[in-house]
Chain A
Amino acid sequence: MEQSHVVLQAVHAVSYLRFIVLFPLLGVLFNIFVGPRLGRKAVNLVAPGVVFLSFIFSFAAFLQLPPEGALVDTVYTWITAGTLQVEVALRVDPLSATMILIVTGVGFLIHLYSTGYMAHDEDVARYFAYLNLFTAAMLLLVLGENLLLLFVGWEGVGLCSYLLIGFWYTDEEKASAGKKAFIVNRIGDAGFLLGILLLFWSLGERGIWTLSFTAIQTHAGSLAVGTVTAICLLLFVGATGKSAQIPLYVWLPDAMAGPTPVSALIHAATMVTAGVYLIARLHFLYSLAPAALTVVAVIGALTAFFAATIALVQTDIKKVLAYSTVSQLGYMFLGLGVGAYSAGVFHLMTHAFFKALLFLGAGSVIHGMSDEQDIRRMGGLKEKMPVTYGTFVVACLAIAGFPGLSGFFSKDLILEETLASAHGSVVLWLIGTVTAGVTAFYMFRLLFVAFWGETRAPHDVARHVHESPTSMTIPLVILAVLSLIGGYFTLVPFLGPVFGGHHAAHGSALVKYLPTMAGFAGIGLAYQMYVRDPGMAERLSQQYASVYELLLNKYYVDELYDRLIVRPLVSASHWLWQVWDTVVIDGTVDGTAQTVEANGLLLRLWQTGNVQAYALSFLFGAIVILGYYLW
């Protein structure tokens, strides 16, 4: 697929884009300083309200977007150093317009949902302060016109992710899940920062000191291929951290310790797509480095497949969805990696709809089941939670790629492009297609086990199962509608001006429908295993115990990292503490003090405290000096 590098021509200066970021920030201030005093009702009104205002402004920006152009809001000049000038400038082009509509739209729905989900939590103002702060940081990330602003947003969403995963910080497991997310992300961020610096310096060597995307795009062609490849790979390290790809995906499943709406907003719909956005935003660099693109595609495909297989056997409803998210993000990277940037972003959007819906549905189930998360103790929820069930079915069909639903269009587009593109290959396509089947299987396994059949909950829990309040079901319904029709949003032509030459893939009919058929096969297999013959899953897990154990233990990756990285690091730190710090440093410091003290003990024997004794020695001293001078 040939990329023509277009720099958007028509740029209109406007001054209202700043408000998109500002409103949620005001919400943060409100929730920190005023909210706790005014109480739950005020917080429930303001927190979603500010995001809705952002949504309105985002929609206005979307409507005003000139064809083949962009809107820019230059707020002020942040840094001036020699010829380097960094502006705080926000930019809306088709790509960032898509992102801000997703962030504020889905974000608003999830804020609304949170008012119901967090109704029994004491600390709701703190929760919404974090959630608003996240929204502001995410909007800054996608609106920022240069890498520096993007990086500020990038770190901001990472911070909020940490704060929200560990929101119930009194539970040590949850607090450490937050730490894990933060630390793993730091590894990625180190790569990201190195990538930015390398890009900055290598352009600077040519006299172009800039961080602005448009300027980078104009001058990227002058860089050597090796340099561009290194930059792209370093940036991709950052993307694997934030977007939970191999090898840095391990934090995302643990991140499910946070409140479920957080999982929906941050760890499914928006923040984890930041890596996808980053690569899409810098697609002109990646197009110059085919090797880096191949790495992106391969990592994406592998992540999609491995995460999907782990999701097959998980029993925690949120863990299944977490691995599913990792897997779907893998699809997006596969799309980006084969040069089908619009397809990747398209899947980002549809995934935001149906995965947010799945998480919110799961949250509704957890809420209704008195905080039960294990699907083995669910079952029979179909009748008791009709709205949740109905919307969940839509989401499952969408992610499984049922024809006509949103996931069908975006996933098929990625797979078609994988086969058709010059960067793609049959192997990658095959992995993607198999993964499509696996995806359909684990989603419908979840659906059948959790919603169908007889209830397996303890009696007192089962009695209390109830449909969630309206504030929670309305977002579910809206997201279900979006999951249904999202595929008809003509995002690919809309994004055309950003990514250049639109490419329509034409595969043979068989190839085109194979992923869909794989999806149907997955659904059918799940039906067979969990509805018609419920004992079958049990028998299979015993028959292939080693495979089952391997998947159940997530390929022992956490254990591997623990052995290879965490434990050596801990023991090295322990050594530094016990030997280096306690013995060497403390020994030196304490030794100095002890030497001084011992000398003092000896010297103080001179100090009799008798003034006349001092006077006597004074006299002798005077006589000696006098004697010296007289003779």
Chain B
Amino acid sequence: MVPVSYHLILSGILFTIGVIGVLLRRNTIIIFMAIELMLNAVNLSFVALAHHLGSVDGQLIVLFVMAVAAAEAAVGLAIILLVFRGRETINADELNLMRW
């Protein structure tokens, strides 16, 4: 039986990798993937804790998170596609129209 702390540590590591990816990478698609990684790290901790506590609540929330993540992926990819059509780039540093 693997202790629940192992799962949580793995979840923390995955989340941190996701955060670093979001902060450091400049390619919008990579940033997007890093966000997915963060979501799934959280999912992992939900499932682990649900198993540990013997409750299905955590598993239920994971299903919701996956549904939202799927929707978000569809919308996000559509946005990135349109941005690329308009600007010919998806480099986050060059997408600075909101700048003062």
Task: For A608, list chain B residues within 8 Å (CB).
Answer: 96, 99
Closest Cβ neighbor of A604 among chain B residues: B100
| CB-based contact B100/A619 at 8 Å | no
Task: For B22, list chain A residues within 8 Å (CB).
Answer: 612, 615
Closest Cβ neighbor of A601 among chain B residues: B100
A607-B98, A609-B98, A609-B99 given as contacts; is B93 within 8 A of A619 (CB)?
no
| CB-based contact B23/A609 at 8 Å | no
Task: For A604, list chain B residues within 8 Å (CB).
Answer: 100
- Tell me, in angstroms, the Cα distance from A202 to B93 when the chains sit together: 82
- Tell me, in angstroms, the Cα distance from A608 to B92 when the chains sit together: 12
Q: Which residue of A607, A610, A619 contacts B92 across the interface (Cβ within 8 Å)?
A: A610
Encode contact with A along B20-52: 1 for CB under 8 Å, 0 otherwise.
Answer: 001110100001000000000000000000000
- Tell me, in angstroms, the Cα distance from A287 to B95 when the chains sit together: 90
- Tell me, in angstroms, the Cα distance from A608 to B99 when the chains sit together: 5
Q: Which residue of B19, B24, B93 contacts A610 across the interface (Cβ within 8 Å)?
A: B93
| CB-based contact A612/B96 at 8 Å | no
The interface of chain A, by Cβ under 8 A from chain B, is 604-605, 607-612, 615-616, 619
B1 touches A (CB below 8 Å): no
- Tell me whether chain A's interface is mostly helix, strand or loop, or mixed: helix
Question: Top 3 closest A-B pairs, CB basis?
Answer: A609-B99, A609-B96, A604-B100
Closest Cβ neighbor of A619 among chain B residues: B19
| CB-based contact B96/A619 at 8 Å | no
Instruction: Work out how many contacts link A and B, with CB atoms closer than 8 A.
Output: 29
Task: For A610, list chain B residues within 8 Å (CB).
Answer: 92-93, 96, 99
Closest Cβ neighbor of B96 among chain A residues: A609
| CB-based contact A616/B98 at 8 Å | no
In the complex, what's the smallest C-beta–C-beta distance from B31 to chain A, in angstroms?
Answer: 8
Encode contact with A along B58-100: 1 for CB under 8 Å, 0 otherwise.
Answer: 0000000000000000000000000000000000110111111
Q: Which residue of A609, A612, A615, A616 contacts B100 across the interface (Cβ within 8 Å)?
A: A609
| CB-based contact A611/B92 at 8 Å | yes
Task: For A616, list chain B residues within 8 Å (CB).
Answer: 23
Task: For B93, list chain A residues within 8 Å (CB).
Answer: 610
Task: For A607, list chain B residues within 8 Å (CB).
Answer: 98-100
Closest Cβ neighbor of B31 among chain A residues: A612
- Tell me, in angstroms, the Cα distance from A50 to B79 when the chains sit together: 74
- Tell me, in angstroms, the Cα distance from A619 to B24 when the chains sit together: 13
Closest Cβ neighbor of A600 among chain B residues: B100
- Tell me, in angstroms, the Cα distance from A462 to B74 when the chains sit together: 95
Closest Cβ neighbor of A606 among chain B residues: B100
Task: For A609, list chain B residues within 8 Å (CB).
Answer: 96-100
Task: For B96, list chain A residues within 8 Å (CB).
Answer: 608-610
Task: For B95, list chain A residues within 8 Å (CB).
Answer: 611
- Tell me, in angstroms, the Cα distance from A379 to B99 when the chains sit together: 85
Closest Cβ neighbor of B98 among chain A residues: A609
| Residue in B24, B96, B98, B100 whose Cβ sees the most chain A Cβ within 10 Å | B100
Known contacts A612-B24, A619-B23, then 19 further A-B pairs from the complex at CB < 8 Å, ordered by chain A residue: A605-B100, A607-B98, A607-B99, A607-B100, A608-B96, A608-B99, A609-B96, A609-B97, A609-B98, A609-B99, A610-B93, A610-B96, A610-B99, A611-B92, A612-B26, A612-B31, A612-B92, A615-B22, A619-B19
In the complex, what's the smallest C-beta–C-beta distance from A600 to chain B, in angstroms?
Answer: 9
Task: For B98, list chain A residues within 8 Å (CB).
Answer: 607, 609
Task: For B99, list chain A residues within 8 Å (CB).
Answer: 607-610
Task: For B31, list chain A residues within 8 Å (CB).
Answer: 612
In the complex, what's the smallest C-beta–C-beta distance from A208 to chain B, in angstroms?
Answer: 73
Provide 27 A-B residue pairs closer than 8 Å at the C-beta atoms, listed in order of the A residue: A604-B100, A605-B100, A607-B98, A607-B99, A607-B100, A608-B96, A608-B99, A609-B96, A609-B97, A609-B98, A609-B100, A610-B92, A610-B93, A610-B96, A611-B92, A611-B95, A612-B22, A612-B23, A612-B24, A612-B26, A612-B31, A612-B92, A615-B22, A615-B23, A616-B23, A619-B19, A619-B23
